[in-house]
Chain A
Amino acid sequence: MAKASITFEDINVTVTAPAGTRLIEISEKVGSGITYGCREGDCGTCITKVTEGWDNLTEASVLEDKILRENMAGKHNRLACQAQVLGGTIRVKPV
């Protein structure tokens, strides 16, 4: 299975994880400062800045885009509970 390498910049930890894993699942296991609320893509608590490897995540759904817009998320922000890793190198940090 394809693996991705995700670096959490706030704690300087890089994790390899299988494609399809959601960012929040990795983040909570390593104790990054990306926090979550509903985990259902609705509350916007887990908005995360993707600093590298934007294309190595699944595309945001219409619903995720709507929540990002409503929360006035910046460029290259994603919901960690929705974005799944696809492969390659990704770097993220809490907003």
Chain B
Amino acid sequence: MSKLPILTVDGVPQAVALSERVHWIGALDPNLRTFDIILKTANGTTYNAYVVRGSEGVAVIDTVKENFADDFFARLESVASYDEIKVIVLNHLEPDHTGALPELMRRAPQAQLYISQKAQSMLKALLKQDEFDFTPVMTGDKVSLGDRTLAFFHTPYLHWPDTQCTYLVEEKTLFSGDVFGCHFCDVRLFNDVVGDFRFSFEYYYAHIMRPFKDYVNRALTLLEPLPLTTILPAHGPLLRDQPQRYMQRYNELSRSALHSEISSGEKTLLIFYISSYGNTRRMAEAIYEGAMTIEHVRVSLYDLEGSEVAPFVDLIEGADGILFGTPTINGDAVKPVWDLLSSLVVINLKSKLGGVFGSYGWTGEGVKMVEDRLRGLKLRVPIPGIRIKLIPTDEEIRICWQFGHEMAQDLMGLREAKVIDIADLAWEAVRE
């Protein structure tokens, strides 16, 4: 049986040695079941924090959630005294990693705080004070602890604007913050001896990192060249066994799964609709026909009744444009449309093309509501939506065809240069 790390002695939390100079001083939270509202965890999580000892001072890297501060301070005190602390590094300012920071700053007032350039405003909001001393750092910046050196790598949006990774040069150890982490609590701590945590690793990526795939890829170009013996994330198992595998897995997850048959010169336009009496479906079909006339646009038509939400989320992630057809029922767009729209938070939608259409009985607000939601999701909505009262006429079907045609043109950058006056841009998205 593997030797268990000694986490407490006579009930007092103890630091766990990861090397002669590096200790884990985090906390276990085995009872947590929901993290940040959006994430489930079946066996809790850990808040990992670390101490690095150099010949000229000690660095503390990250802290823990506030109500676990006692464990953190006890572990810290078991390997260092407060007056030795020269450096505090925060890789990420979310409260589960900064909960003990104000008290740590009070106990070690001489310590200099190192945070990423983008973390400054968040730190002020967390500490609720305007004046404090800190050093903003970027990729390439280093801080010396004598015979140990910390090097900083700016890895924004993994998964907050402020996130960074810190590399202990002499030990080839990466303190990665939330990157390569997961919500998994196991007293054995190390990846080669804990229970099977692969599902937690994948789940964490899917919910926390997936919206920022482009940023993951950028971060990997910085991190992959580093010689590595260990990755020490801020949650979950400490990756001392083959850490490169976890980096490789991020690499795989941040690229498309199956090879896409869409060539690089083509654009994809997805049309989703749901229809109670077939009117919104007829509009969708006309829009589909109109869009199909533009070369190099790969158009697809989907009935929302025909699938679960998750596959559509995957489709939308890879698409260039998305159109939604919704009837208005009782003054609102219908639930299957909202269900899909509320599930898109795990993917990046910025600047995809969006548009809305739908049939209605007497009010027709649904189209405008969904348009507003698309803008809120950071799609661009260049053409006002179409709403048609009950059964579309031939002329209205032609308008739908034209809508699809223009959307596809827009996607290919083929819409002619236009000059318009803002006064002519009716905010009410109705085509009379």
Contacts and interface: CB of A to CB of B under 8 A. Distances in A.
> For the side of the interface on B, what is the size category?
20 to 34
Nearest to B120: A70
B353 to A, nearest CB: 8
A45 B349 CA distance: 13
A18 interface: yes
Interface stretch (A9-17, A54-62, A75-83): A9-17
A5 B420 CA distance: 9
Interface string B350-362: 1100000000000
Contact of B382 (A14, A30, A71): A30
Contact of A30 (B378, B379, B416, B425): B425
B113 to A, nearest CB: 16
Contacts of B432: none
Given A30-B382, A31-B382, A31-B383, A15 B422 contact: yes
Interface string A12-40: 11111110010000101111110110000
B351 A16 contact: no
Contacts of A45: 378
A29 to B, nearest CB: 5
Contact of B415 (A11, A16, A21, A29): A11
Interface of A: 5, 11-18, 21, 26, 28-33, 35-36, 42, 44-45, 70-72, 94
**In the A-B complex, the 8 residue pairs with the closest CB atoms:** A31-B382, A35-B378, A33-B351, A17-B422, A14-B419, A29-B425, A12-B417, A31-B380
12 contacts: A11-B382, A11-B415, A13-B420, A15-B422, A16-B422, A18-B422, A29-B425, A30-B425, A31-B381, A31-B382, A32-B380, A33-B351
